Each structure stands twice: as C-alpha cells, then as structure tokens.
Amino acid sequence: MMHSAVPAVDFDGALVRKLSQSGPRYTSYPTADRFAASFGYSDYLKAVARVRMRGGTRPLSLYVHVPFCEKLCYYCACNKIITKKREKADEYLGYLKREIELQGKLFEGLNEIEQLHFGGGTPTYFSDAQMDELMAHLRRCFRFAADDRGEYSIEIDPRTVSPERVHSLRAQGFNRISLGVQDFDADVQKAVNRIQPESETRAVITAARAADFRSVSIDLIYGLPLQTLETMAVTLDKVIDANPDRIAVYHYAHLPRLFKAQRRINEADMPDSESKLQMLSLCIERLTAAGYVYIGMDHFAKPEDDLAVAQRQGRLHRNFQGYSTHAEADLVSCGVSAISSVGGSYSQNVKTLDEYYDAIDRNELPVVRGVRLTLDDTLRRAIIQMLMCHFELSMNAIEQDFPITFRSYFAQELDKLAEMERDGLLAIDGEWITVTGKGRLLIRNICMVFDRYLGQPQAGEQVVRFSRTV
C-alpha cells in the first residue's frame, strides 16, 4: 500500500524545458528495441512451460491486433495497413483465428481471461459479423471471467461506427470503449487528414452510455499542425462537456524520417515547443479543475473510475496497452506485430502479413524476436512499474522481494536521483523514494535512471528514436 497521499501534478514549465529529452514510455522493460532475433517460437514455448510449472492459476490478459484502416491519418505511428479491400480482412481473420487456437491450446486449463484489449489499426474495420465470429472463437479457445469482473476493451474510430454498432459491440462482450478524437478543430482535422465531426463522436458516446459500457475513454493529441492554445481550449471544453470516464492526452512525436505518413504534414504548420508546453499545461489545468485525477504519463480518469481506484489502492499496473488494473496477468497477444509478456519473457510477432501467414501455415506461432528477463531485468522492471504507477517506491519492499541491498546495488542510480532531488522532482528518505507534484510529469526521466540499457549499443536493428518525455 502507498504510504502517503501522492501530490497532485504540478506543472513547472522551466523544469520541463530543462529536463525534457527523448526517452522510452516503459510499456515494457526491457523496452522493445532490446528484443533480439535469437529469441523465437521455441523460446516462447519454454516460457509457457514455465507458466505451467509454476502451477496454480493466475488471470490472463489477451491482446488482439487488427492492422487495417480505411484512411491514413497523417500523424499515425502505429503498425497499420491502409486498404479498402475488405477481402484482406477476411483472409486475416482466418489466420488470426488459427493463431488464437494455437495459443488457446498452449494455455488450456491454466488461466481465465480477465482482460481483453483490441487495438490497431482500427479494430472495427472488421464488420459486425466478423467481430461476432471472432469473439465466439475467442470464447471457444479461452475461458473468460464474467462481465462484472473482466475488463474487455476496444479502440474504435467514431467515423466508421454507428450507434447501432456500439450496442452490438456491448452485446459481443466489450465493456470498455476507447475513441480516437485527437482534436475537435476542423482545420487541425484537415491538416492531419482525419475529418471527424463532433456530432459523430457525441453520438458514439451517447450510444456507449445507453448500451451500459462501464468506461468511455477519449484520446487527444497535443502538438498537431495548426493547433494553438485557443483551439486547444475549445477542444477541451467539448471533451469535458462530453464527460468521458478517462482521457488520454498524448504528445505528438513528429518523426517524418521514421514514419512516412508524417511527411504529408506541412512543417510550417507545426506549433513550436513553447506553444506545446503551454498546451500541456492548459490540458492539466482544465482537466484537473473539471474533477479528473491525473493518473500519470498522459492519462486522466474520474475519481470513481477503475484506474483511479486501482491507483489509490496500490494495484495499478502498466503494460503494452498503457495503464491497467490487472497486475499479475501474463499477456498473450495475437496478430501482426503484437507483443506478448509470458513467463518472464517478452515476444513479438512478425510485422508483415506475408510472414504472419507463412508462420501460421507451418502451424507455428509467428514469433520473430523477444527476450527472456534476467533477475536484474525483473528487479528494474518492478521498480519502473512502481514509479510509473504509484510515483513512489519502498526500498524495503524491493529488498523483501529481491536478494539485494538497495542502497549498494543502486548506488550510482541514487547519486543521479540526488540531482533530481535538488531539482525538486522527488524526495528520498530512509525507506521511500517519493515523486513530487513537479516530478510526476517527468516520471519517464526518473525511470530512465534505472534503465540499464539506455545508451548501450544495440544488436542488429537500427537505433530507436524515442519520443520526448514531455
């Protein structure tokens, strides 16, 4: 349990300017750029065997990746395929079901699914009938917890989903829904090729409430072309009025060298870094004033939402879907590029449809790379998790869980943290490292201190460029 009330987030522009740098988002540790091609399908099977040997049952988390989108949003950095050819989705669904079946057999009798997340691309690219077929197949291959215990979420594009479809998704078993909005301003929408009238977004939210979805989440992005403080203020007014349970406010990372779609954005339309900082400050100020709790990173939630409750109770966790309330779950992921976290290992699937289909035609899971965690990885992952989710860390608790003496094992890290303490980001006493209100926004910087791999040369793949920490 947490030892003190965590201070509210405190925006200090000068500190953010001084310390903002490129860094990982820590949806995993080690981060995905450290996965190696030497880890393959047989290593994944060994990881599942370790889960079996552990005995007992623990909840399981499931992720399904649907890569297709109808239109290209210029800001997007996801692994997606833009196509209007619906037969592509048919073929993919057939292979996806075979992968799910292979995974289902591996985990048979072991665990119950308590968390399901559909991401993409656009998961609702699948038609209503295809989604029906896929959900029925998932239930044949895995046991699902009852609706009131499980957290079953899907990301949707309000431009392609009718209110009727929202009710259908609820009937198919989803109880949480996440909407991409990004910005309500018409000029900004045009600049990123995502025209989405406010009325469409509101209709989906109204339908989700009527269909009894447990949680409605909205995604926003700041730092997009043509965004100003004024347009952002209007968008925030509309978002607060729409009254979602959760809001994610992401920083747009403009990396046109890495993401081809971003080359279509006019550089001259981009807000400068000072304007972006002011936008972030405005988001924090307006959302907290409207009663939302700052969860961490980019996330806000109503005080009664599961995320905020889990954080207050010390149960919050972080995985590839962001913040989660299901801490002890192994994560099984299906679909191109999807990443699993099973039995002390991470494994990632191939990124192209051809490679994906080839592997499944051989009756193999399409694992292309991964990593088995060492004891040091597991230790550092636990520390990064605690800081990311709870903004504090008990050194004694770590010593109880791992065979180390914290102050000697992390002597160098504590020296670096002492500098951050002087900057007002955190406080260190006999037992606790506690992040201050000012430090909460810069939590990625604090976690980077514990990352053993940062700055080390990487094997094989190109050096990854991370987004800015703020």
Please tell me whether 182 is known to bind a ligand. yes
Q: Which two tokens stand for residue 459?
A: 């094997």
Does the annotation flag 305 for ligand binding?
no
DSSP letters of 267-319? GGGPPPHHHHHHHHHHHHHHHHHTT-EEEETTEEE-TTSHHHHHHHTT--EEE
CA separation for the pair 43, 364 (Å, rounded): 12
- CA distances in angstroms from 101 to 139, 141, 339, 363, 454, listed in the order given: 10, 6, 17, 10, 37
Please check if 231 is assigned to a binding site: no
86 labelled binding-site residue: no
Per the annotation, does 143 bind a ligand? no
Amino acid at 52: R
Q: Classify residue 5 as exposed, middle or buried by CB count within 10 Å of its CB (0-12, 13-18, 19+).
A: exposed
Alpha-carbon distance of 103 to 117, in angstroms, equals 16
The answer to the question of whether 40 is labelled as a binding residue is: no
63 marked as binding residue? yes
Q: Cβ-count burial of 14 within 10 angstroms (0-12 exposed, 13-18 middle, 19+ buried)?
A: exposed
Does 253 belong to an annotated binding site? yes
- Cα distances (Å, whole numbers) of residue 28 to 191, 314, 324, 409: 32, 19, 13, 22
**Annotation-wise, does 77 bind a ligand?**
yes
Query: Which amino acid, 306?
Result: D
Handedness of CA 207, 189, 442, 399 (dihedral sign): positive
120 is in an annotated binding site: yes
- The annotation status of 155 as a binding-site residue, yes or no, is yes
Please state, in angstroms and rounded to a whole number, the distance separating the CA atoms of residues 239 and 236. 5
Give the side-chain half-sphere CA count within 13 A for 355. Answer: 11
Annotated binding residue 356? no
73 annotated as a binding-site residue? yes
Mark the binding-site residues for S-adenosyl-L-methionine, compressed into ranges.
63, 75-77, 120-122, 155, 182, 194, 219, 253, 339
Mark the binding-site residues, compressed into ranges.
63, 69, 73, 75-77, 120-122, 155, 182, 194, 219, 253, 339
Mark the binding-site residues for [4Fe-4S] cluster, compressed into ranges.
69, 73, 76
